Amino acid sequence: MPVESTTPARPDAPRLVRAPDPGEEPASGELFEVCDLSVYYGSFRAVRDVNLRIPERCITAFIGPSGCGKTTILRCFNRMNDLVETARVEGRILYHGVDLYDPAVNPVEVRRRIGMVFQKPNPFPKSIYDNVAYGPKVAGLKGDMDEMVERSLRRAALWEEVKDRLKASAMGLSGGQQQRLCIARALAVDPEVVLMDEPCSALDPIATGRIEDLMEEIKTSYTIIIVTHNMQQAARVSDQCAFFTTEVNETSDTRTGILVEFDGTEKMFSTPSDERTENYVTGRFG
């Protein structure tokens, strides 16, 4: 007989609420371990004390209201916050056991293994071919460039539409095609992880659907972390969900992002553990 209580038992999805001991091996199948991550912009703490374990080769979604730091946290995974001058990161993000923020780690190498697709499609103002070829070129990847470009475009489900006009400017593509081109560009350097920051928010529903299908196809080869405002999308595509919210600091009148719950998606959208999560997914709080 199942446990009788109003807070139901949690399923198998791993949920880390304490920092792992140093030297503690992550459970197999877990690619990232985030330990006590905090992000500061100057003296303002935007995000605090995030502890997560991201499993490999599935889709993890970060959801939560605006301003809760989801994009900030996502950008920590590939050291993109380095580009913001006032940003400072505390805590560790272990990738295959290596702390990404170790001073010996080269951020450029990190970004070759952990790629990113941005909210607004941002192809280079060059040809479609050059867009996809740029990453492998700067990474010094050997091999037949034409073949690499074709492979990436196929993986991004764009090849059939552009194979006859590879030299045409990327700016002539539609929004959905441009975003798929950006995905192809990210895949071209053969990363292990693809970070997606609200990739469909600027696209119409049909283009959105195609990208969601694409995500389903490639998740067997890549680990995907997606930030999304669209709850139905999170429920549809992701295997795990992390729900963030803001915490108001009364004295300084600032808001800091915190992780509330990290669970399997099915659980989070049927019987979430935390009341704040419940209020957010049912739309009673935004």
Cβ distance 194 to 187 under 8 Å? Answer: yes
Q: Rounded to 5 degrees, what angle do the CA atoms 269, 27, 19 make?
A: 80
Cβ distance 33 to 94 under 8 Å? Answer: yes
Looking at 177, 185, 227, 233, which residue binds other proteins (CB under 8 A)? 185
Looking at 40, 41, 118, 159, which residue binds other proteins (CB under 8 A)? 118
Looking at 20, 40, 105, 134, which residue binds other proteins (CB under 8 A)? 134
Looking at 11, 29, 125, 175, which residue binds other proteins (CB under 8 A)? 125
Looking at 152, 178, 240, 246, which residue binds other proteins (CB under 8 A)? 246
Single out the segment in contact with other proteins by CB under 8 A; choices: 10-18, 45-53, 172-180, 269-277. 269-277
Does 188 bind other proteins (CB under 8 A)? Our answer is yes
Q: Report the C-alpha gap between 155 and 144 in whole angstroms.
A: 17
Which residue, 37 or 187, is less far from other proteins as judged by CB?
187
- The interface with other proteins within residues 50-69 (CB under 8 A) comprises 65
Three-state secondary structure readout of 218-262? HCCCCEEEEECCCHHHHHHHCCEEEEEEEEEECCCCEEEEEEEEE
Q: Measured from the CB of residue 68, what is the shortest distance to other proteins in angstroms? A: 8
Does 109 bind other proteins (CB under 8 A)? Our answer is yes
Q: Report the C-alpha gap between 24 and 35 in whole angstroms.
A: 12
Nearest to 73 by CA among 47, 53, 55, 52: 47
Pairing mode, if any, of strands 98-99 and 87-95? antiparallel
Residues with Cβ within 8 Å of residue 125, at least 6 apart in sequence: 169, 170, 171
Does 232 bind other proteins (CB under 8 A)? Our answer is yes
Does 206 bind other proteins (CB under 8 A)? Our answer is no
Cβ distance 163 to 123 under 8 Å? Answer: no
Looking at 26, 55, 91, 115, which residue binds other proteins (CB under 8 A)? 115
| Angle subtended by helix axes 128-139 and 175-188, to nearest 10 | 20
Looking at 38, 78, 152, 177, which residue binds other proteins (CB under 8 A)? 78
Single out the segment in contact with other proteins by CB under 8 A; choices: 12-20, 21-29, 49-57, 243-251. 243-251
Q: Kindly list the residues in this chain that would bind other proteins in the complex (CB under 8 A).
A: 2, 4-6, 8, 65, 78, 80, 83, 85, 108-112, 115-118, 120, 122-125, 134-135, 138-139, 182, 185-186, 188-189, 231-232, 235, 245-248, 255, 258, 260, 269-272, 274-276, 278-286
